[in-house]
Structures are given as C-alpha cells and as structure tokens.
Amino acid sequence: MVSSRVQVSLIAAGLIILGLGLCLYKAVNLGFPLFPGEYRDVWTVESKISFRPSRAEAVEVELKLPTMLAGWSNVDEYFASSGFGFTVIAPSKDNGFESRRARWTRQTLERPTTLYYKQQMFRANQAKALPDLPVSEVSPPLLENDRQAAMARLVDRLSQQSSDRESFTGQLLQEFLRQSPDQDSLFLLGSYQEDSLVVIMDVLAYKGIPAHQLRGIVLEDGRRRQTLSSLIEIHNGVKWVIFDPQNASVGLPDNFFIWQRGDGAVLNVVGGRDSSLEFALVSNSLPVKTVISMGQRSEQVDLLDFSVYALPVEQQGIFKGLLLIPVAALVVVLMRVLVGIRTSGTFMPVLIALAFIQTTLLVGLIIFLGLVGVGLWIRSYLSRLNLLLVSRVAAVIIVVILLMAVLAVTSYRLGLDQALTVTFFPTVIIAWTIERMSILWEEEGGHEVLIQGSGSLLVAVLAYIAMSSQIISHLTFNFPELMLSLLGVILLLGKYTGFRLSELYRFRDMGSPQEPRL
C-alpha cells in the first residue's frame, strides 16, 4: 500500500511539474500569454483542391491566392505540394490589382490528387473600405433576339421602379429572389440554363452598369466542405457598392472573406478533370499579442511547439472540444470524491455538459428535462407491455428520437431556432438514463430519482460552466501540456482517503448523542 501510494505521489508530482514547467516555458520564453487579454478571431482557412488526372498529360494547377482586403491581415500560410513542382507567382508590377497565384506542376500523374493551401488570417481593421478600382468600359452582352427582347422589357420595367444604379441593382436582385418572378425573368433564367448570378451580371451589363463579382468564403466556425460564394459589386457613378445576391442587402457582410475581386476563375486545372475547390474553416479566439508574433515564431520553434495549431484545420476544430473534456472529467472527480454527489452513470454528466455547450445552458436544461420527463412517462407504459429489456431500451431510443424530431419541427415552425440544437443530445445516453431512472423509480422511489437526477444535472451544469469559461478554453487550447498536470491532480485525487463533504452531513449527529443510549 505504501509503495503504490509513493508511486502515485511521484508520478503525479512529476506530471504536475512537467505540465506546469512546459506551460511556464511557453509563457516566458515563447511569449504565449497566460491570460487572455484583448482577443482577435484568427481564422484558419484550409483550401483543398482535388482533381483526377486526364490521360497522359502534364498537369498544371493554378490557384489565385487571396489579396488581403477590407482590413484582413495575413498571419501565416502553408502549401502542401508533395511530388509537385511549386511556385508562387507574384503579380506583374503594371497591374496593381492582380493577385498572387500559386502554381503546382507535374509531368505525369496517375491517381486522383488533393493539394492543400492553408492560411491563417485575422481582421485587423473592421472599418477599412475596399480600395478604389478603375471603372472599365461596359459592353452590352451579345444576345439572341428573344432574350434581348425579354431583357429589354425587364430592364425597362425595373428602370421605371428605380431612381439610380443602386436602386436598380437592388430591384434586380429582389426580382430574382422572389418566389414567383415575372415572365421575362423566368424566361431568361430558363433559357440561360445557368445560375441566376450569370443572368444578373448580363442584365447589369445590358443596362450599362459597371459590375463584377466578388468571390469569397462565408466564414463559419468548424465548417468543412465550404465552397466559394459570390457577391456583386457595382459602380454607382461615384464609388463601388457591394450587394449580396442572397438577400439583396447592401454592403460587405462581416462574415465574408474576399478571395478575389473581379471576374475570372479562381482555380485553373490543366491536364485534370473533375476538379473541385473546398474550404475547411476554424476560428480561434487568440490574444492580439500572440497573433502578431505567430508568424515568426512558428518557424523558430517547430519542435517545442506542442500547440494544436500544427494540426490540419479539420482536426483542430475537433480537438478544441476534446481538450475541454479533461476539465469536465476533473469536475466529475471532484464532485464525486470530495463532495460525494451521487450521479446516475459516472460520466453521463460530461456528455450532458457537452450537449449543453452546443445548445446553451437554459435551452439545454429545458430540452433535457422535457425529453427525460416525457420519456419516463412513455417508459412507464412500456413497462406494462412486458417486453424484453433490450427491445424496451431500443424502443425508448426510438421514442426519444421521435420526440427530438417533433420538438425540432414544431419549434422551427414556431420560429424558435434554439430548440433545433436538440440533436446534439446523445440519444442512446438519454434512453439509458430514462431506463435507469425508471428502474430507480420502481425500486427506490421518486426520492432517489430526484437525488440522482439533480445530482447529475448539477455536475453537468458545473462541468458546462468550467468548459465554457474563456480562461479555461484559452489555457486548454494554447497549453495542452496542462493536461499532464490535470492528470497528476486526478491521480492524486484517486488516492484521497479523507472524508467527503456529504459524509460530514451524513455523520453529523455522531459526535453528540442526542439521547441516552439504550
């Protein structure tokens, strides 16, 4: 017993010191800030170019790289080009608005291939406007007679409803957003057989309004397989104005990152087919200081930098959540070993807490209580049907999913978007919770259900509070080595033989006999 105790203490002390030491080293020598100061959202965008080779041809892939506009600032970029010749082509001097291009080349290629371009950037200045562009001559599109006529009628009608170029564009976008556009627009859409954006650009050209597309990415944290979307920029005679064709609103949306300003393809693949360009996005809140020094540092201390930033973006997003789980586990250990709260299922509270992170606390609590309550009620009926246990739990699982669907649909109809997050609850866990609770109810009475149920919820809420704290997520993500210290603390707690808080209450009368003994 002594030896195992000593072992645990030594290992735990080693782990705690190692974790804290690494953390301190990073903080002092590498300048990682221990405490979050002013934050910037740093977006990591991973562009994934996939294509299949055409037969026996040299492959040349050219990707236009984004120009940092609208206050965005580049932190770091990285190209993956195994087996390809690779160059970055700087824009020619005489055309200031052309962007850099990345070019991958290879003589022969057999397999379908994926190329990566990863980039980290943040928005240093929200308010910064786009630089001015020279207005070029607008040439009307060449059209067949019937289309020309339809377009003329459409432009005529829209011109009567509008006073200037801006309002014309607004009207035009509205026209194509409407559920039932008029006959001319329908005819144009039908005969173009293309995206409505192409029609819109042609109409603008027909009207003589200088316009071009803004290609870019709608920024969404944790999003994978995002594709390029487009905005429209027109010149109103004085300056350029941006429109969003999705909702006809004016101005650059905050969550839109401009990849390319102007028409033309972003990706060119010669010698390949079925090419696609997809983006994976993840956003990290990082202190300004870190952001600024990140570029230089990553090259100097690659080996020592244990931070999760080294991973591909898709995994970073996953790890962001995973790294929080040890904190929740610690909360469970503390609550059970030091306080003595009874929970139903040892780590069930962690799963509930993870669901709460997705749903937000109040909504999550309401949904959870609702699901378990209705589930218990239905389970009490199932128990009368005399079913085998496994089928009964399976039945409860299906009922829970049905309840989730009903809840999601009705709340969506009612306009309560939050309830849609119900899907983040682990169905099987909820079904088992219902089963356990109902057995508990039958055997030990509602009192025990209340104790264990509220115990689980209390621990889940505490774990949620710990996991959603900004300092804790800052520390776990930037200093994953602290997990070692956490492990050490949990090992030590595993050897704690003192009293639990609940026992101080349980044995409260032991010290002072109330009556003379028998």
Partner 1 sequence: MINLISPFKLRELGILGMNRRNIGLIGTYNQRCNYSIADNKLATKSAALSRGIPVPELYSTVERQFQVRAVDEQIQALSSFVIKPAQGSGGKGILVITGRDGDQFIKSSGALISISDVKRHISNILAGLHSLGGRNDVAMIEALIDFDPSLKDYSFEGVPDIRIIVFRGVPVMAMMRCATKASDGKANLHQGAVGVGIDIGSGQTVAAVQQSALIAEHPDTGIGFDGLEVPYWSQVLNLAAGCASMAGLGYLGADIVLDRLRGPMLLELNARPGLAIQVANQAGLRHRLAQAEDIANSTDNQEQKISLARKQFTQSKQTEAQLALDIY
Can you give the binding site for partner 1, defined by CB under 8 A?
1, 337, 340, 386, 388-390, 439, 443-445, 495-501, 503-511, 513-515, 517-518
d(CA 38, CA 57): 52
Query: What's CA 256's distance to the chain center, in Å?
Result: 15
d(CA 420, CA 409): 8
Give me the least distance between CB of 508 and partner 1, in Å please: 5
- Closer residue to partner 1, CB minimum distance, 115 or 382: 382
Q: Which two tokens stand for residue 443?
A: 């055997």
Give me the least distance between CB of 3 and partner 1, in Å please: 12
- Closer residue to partner 1, CB minimum distance, 412 or 499: 499
SS3 at position 99:
coil
- Closer residue to partner 1, CB minimum distance, 128 or 506: 506
d(CA 181, CA 262): 28
**Alpha carbon distances (Å) from 303 to 298, 307, 346:** 9, 10, 38
Q: Which two tokens stand for residue 46?
A: 């991973």
Give me the least distance between CB of 290 and partner 1, in Å please: 41
d(CA 376, CA 380): 6
- Closer residue to partner 1, CB minimum distance, 35 or 499: 499
Give me the least distance between CB of 448 and partner 1, in Å please: 8
d(CA 117, CA 154): 43
CA angle, 228 then 230 then 235, to 5°? 150
- Closer residue to partner 1, CB minimum distance, 192 or 507: 507
Give me the least distance between CB of 494 and partner 1, in Å please: 8
Sign of the torsion angle spanned by Cα atoms 318, 320, 326, 330? negative
- Closer residue to partner 1, CB minimum distance, 179 or 512: 512
265, 49 contact by CB (below 8 A):
no
131, 90 contact by CB (below 8 A):
no
- Closer residue to partner 1, CB minimum distance, 142 or 518: 518
- Closer residue to partner 1, CB minimum distance, 127 or 510: 510
Give me the least distance between CB of 386 and partner 1, in Å please: 5
* Residue from 309, 335, 295, 323 nearest 455 by CA: 335
**Alpha carbon distances (Å) from 465 to 360, 391, 462, 473:** 10, 36, 5, 11
- Closer residue to partner 1, CB minimum distance, 33 or 345: 345
Give me the least distance between CB of 498 and partner 1, in Å please: 6
SS3 at position 497:
coil
Give me the least distance between CB of 478 and partner 1, in Å please: 34
- Closer residue to partner 1, CB minimum distance, 190 or 511: 511
d(CA 138, CA 209): 7
Give me the least distance between CB of 19 and partner 1, in Å please: 24
- CA dihedral (77, 80, 84, 85) in degrees, to 10, reads 20
φ/ψ of residue 188, rounded to 5? -65, -45
Pairing of strands 272-287, 39-53: antiparallel
Give me the least distance between CB of 500 and partner 1, in Å please: 6
